[in-house]
Amino acid sequence: MEHSHYISTEVLTLETLQEIISEHKTLALSEEAKISIQQCRDYLDQKMASNDAPIYGINTGFGSLCNVKISNENLSQLQENLVKSHACGTGEEVPSAIVKIMLLLKIQSLSYGHSGVQLQTVERLVDFYNHDILPVIYTQGSLGASGDLAPLAHLSLPLLGEGEVFFEGKKVHSSEVLKQFNWQPIVLQSKEGLALLNGTQFMSAYGSYILLKAMKYSYLADVISAISLEGFDGRIEPFDELIHYVRPHKGQIVTAKRMRELLEDSQIIAQPKAHVQDPYSFRCIPQVHGASKDTIDYVKKVFKTEINSVTDNPNIFKNEDVIISGGNFHGQPLALALDFLGLALAELGSISERRTYQLISGLRGLPAFLVDNPGLNSGFMIPQYTAASIASQNKQLATPASVDSIVSSNGQEDHVSMGANAATKTLRIMENLERILAIELMNASQAIAFRQPLQSSEFIEMFLKSYRAEVPLVKEDRILHYDIENSVAFLNSFMIDLEE
């Protein structure tokens, strides 16, 4: 298949994931993946035929019903019942971009040949991905421990011709789409429902999506802070490599180097300064932004491992001739990482809002609220209120979800990760950060205009020229809501290369 990404045992990186998404690649199973899936299914069928013993989730009930044996003629019904009964999602609908990643990651996890699914089940998921048939999934319902049960049940319903999907811009019943493509509903075999529902693909898809944005906005936070520094007539000395090599945290060194590069050949930074020091929100950009970069790097490692893992239960090892019921569906590694990521992103927003506050304070020769004729004009007084409100909401959202376990399934599932809640709130923190940085850019671009005729660096002047095409200078009061929205859209449209 042309322009396809082949699902195989090769390591899937976040950068590859970004490439698949941005280049609208289709998916195809490699021959190796097809063989692994088929051999595992054949092994399970042979095991069932020759063995009467109860095997959890394959010929038993689920959760605290694990000791109830199910007769062979009811195994398909057992799996179908599982999918239907677990489709208990509620709340907002999961964004389609994240649903698409969930499909991809579920296909990836099933392709290793330790889950016991039919090949046609995985191929139908590939068809859904390639034709943009996106199951309607809800944000609430997963404890992030037996896997993301409720969200993955909604992901799986369309395989059975049940539930709803988004297709060609409309929400329709999945049975209509199956008819349109002349596809028969999948008849689930033993273990399949459990393989589909156990897994961390809701948390993993959210985390992957947030990380791709976080990597971009970590870079943009540096760019926007450099413009703020210029607008504030700040000093270059805090970015000198000497002080960072004596406290050599990687993120700190990278941030300081980037700031020096962004400000290279700037007339504003080179002019003599009347002040000896800058406030922390400017002076400590390398230390604060750098710590968030190091956090993003750590969380990337966690998610890279996870999206290349088998996370359903039980796991089938045909070569060793064992089927083991364990806990690979438990989302604790992701829950902790998502909470940590939320903290790091909230801090980027927190320091950004402080720079915005400094810029409107009438310091360093800047007019109060960055506008001519303050008094008659309120200028940039209120965007800072908005940024402060959002930064404060981020502090509230950054309370960790992962410490908040709750008992389920009659005490059988007595410790859960709450990684799904960590995922959905970390996405909100990420979206809030976009808005806070957009407001800082509005203020910074206004402040730097008061430094003319002095010019900043070539890169910053080009960046500001592009931005000014979307958001003109504010000469007198106007409705700034539109400027905030246009600033967010400008940052969203900005493309960067993600480095490994």
| Paired tokens of 423 | 């995922």
Query: Are 144 and 174 contacting, i.e. CB atoms less than 8 angstroms apart?
Result: no
Query: Are 150 and 88 contacting, i.e. CB atoms less than 8 angstroms apart?
Result: yes
Tokens 């156990």 correspond to 198
C-alpha closest to that of 441 among 459, 468, 416: 468
Rounded Cα–Cα distance for residues 436 and 388 (Å)? 8
Rg of the chain, C-alpha, whole Å: 26
| Paired tokens of 33 | 């993946």
Q: Which residues are catalytic?
A: 56
CB atoms within 10 A of CB 357: 16
Rounded Cα–Cα distance for residues 159 and 166 (Å)? 14
What stretches of 27-173 show up as alpha helix (H) in DSSP? Answer: 31-50, 75-86, 96-110, 119-130, 149-156
| Paired tokens of 335 | 């829950």
Q: Which amino acid is at 473?
A: L
Contacts of 99 (CB under 8 A, 6+ apart): 134, 135, 137, 155, 166, 205
Name the pairing type of β-strands 4-7 and 26-29. parallel
Q: What are the C-alpha distances in Å from 158 to residues 148, 173, 313? A: 17, 8, 22
Query: Are 116 and 64 contacting, i.e. CB atoms less than 8 angstroms apart?
Result: no
